[in-house]
Amino acid sequence: MKGFVSSRLHPLVNLMLLLGLAVATFCIAGFFATVFSNLFFGVGLREMGNVTQNPQAHPNGWAVLMLTQGITLFVMLAGAAWGLVLVTGQSVRDYFMPRRPVSALWLVAAAALIILSLPLMSAFIQWNADMHLPGFFGGFERWARAKEEELKGVTAFLTRLNSPVRLAVALLVIGVVPAISEELFFRGVIQRNLVDLFKSRHAGVFLAAAIFSAIHMQFLGFIPRFVLGLILGYLYEWSGNILVPMAAHFTQNAFQLLLIYVQQQQWAGADFDPDSTDSMPWYLVLLSALFTGAVLYFLQQRRLAAAPSEMHTLSSGGVAVASPETAPTETRTLGSKGAEAK
């Protein structure tokens, strides 16, 4: 397939092209969000700003905000990532799944990894929430905490799951859409090009995780989201298939939504606070760290022990081709040009 630009662009050029496409798809997303909000809820362009700024004051505020967020996330991030692949004339499937087909075990292990890591993540959440920056960063810390409270209010409004229908909509918009769009954008394109730029899988994973965490604009949750980004990044590097971090990302968001729903419905006398920043008991954190490490080690060893016939590399045209002569222990991460990075 012939693209508008070369498939051999420098990684930095790819990233700048991705940014430009994201700006374009953001505008497209805004247009569609406005059209559908007017079509379904009678909220026109003039009223749109007021509804998104103060959704509690509008009878359809929750639905409009969900619709807007879902369209914006999917069209902007997934559209930009998909667009980059298409304009460079590459295959979407081969670009995001470059090495081998994924087995069901990877998907199950990725989901289990997220559940098992929750107590450990609670320790990171408390550590980050209790953290204070040096005095000369006082202004930034005050701004970050104010921003955190603002976003917390929006999140609390979006997660008012007082019916099964709202839960289903939330699972789609907060669970499925980010799992697809954010993974295509951050792991599929940004991480891949950073790995290629620095010729190091670790540098690419760490930098992509930092960008992933920072762009959420919730700095009191920067560290736990950064750790989540690392897990998602290495899942992609080891599996060579974007479906694996997507499964983990969906599990992370969906499990939190289910906890919130159970707490709000007060099933079985549920009295826990899903928004708490307190760490779980130390023994649960320790067990979580051990089990999380064990699953990560298992997945890494599975990558190293993969049969040579299952491994793939990228041809000059960006198409995955079998590479049976490559020893399993010599597998390298694929860059945006199809070159291998250590």
Q: What is the DSSP secondary-structure string of 172-221?
A: IIIIIHHHHHHIIIIIIIIIHHHHHHHT-HHHHHHHHHHHHHHTTT-GGG
194: amino acid identity, one letter: L
Alpha-carbon dihedral sign for residues 305, 308, 312, 315:
positive
Q: Is 293 helix (H, G, I), strand (E, B) or coil?
A: helix
Beta bridge partners of 312: 322
Rounded Cα–Cα distance for residues 228 and 174 (Å): 16
3-state secondary structure of 328: helix
pLDDT at 332: 43
Containing H/E element for 148? Answer: helix 138-158
Of 10, 5, 6, 7, nearest in space to 197 by CA: 10
- Quick check: 328 pLDDT over 60? no
For all residues of the chain together, what is the average pLDDT? 85
**Quick one: pLDDT at residue 197?**
95
Confidence check: pLDDT of 270 > 80: no
Question: What is the band of 309 on the pLDDT scale with cuts at 50, 70, 90?
Answer: very low
Looking at mean pLDDT, say which of 8-17, 51-60, 297-306 comes out highest: 8-17
Q: Percentage of residues in the chain with pLDDT exceeding 90?
A: 56
DSSP secondary structure code for residue 104 in this structure: H
Cα–Cα distance, 248 to 243 (Å, whole number): 9
The predicted-structure confidence for 29-74, as pLDDT tens digits, reads as follows: 999 999 999 999 988 888 888 887 788 888 889 999 999 999 999 9
| pLDDT at residue 323 greater than cutoff 50 | no
- Contact present, 161 and 260 (Cβ < 8 Å): yes
Predicted pLDDT of residue 269: 61
Task: Using alpha carbons, select from 162, 167, 88, 118 the residue that is nearest to residue 281.
Answer: 118
User: Which residues lie across from 327 on neighbouring strands?
Assistant: none
DSSP string of 9-58?
--HHHHHHHHHHHHHHHHHHHHHHHHHHHHHHH---HHHHHHHHH-GGGS
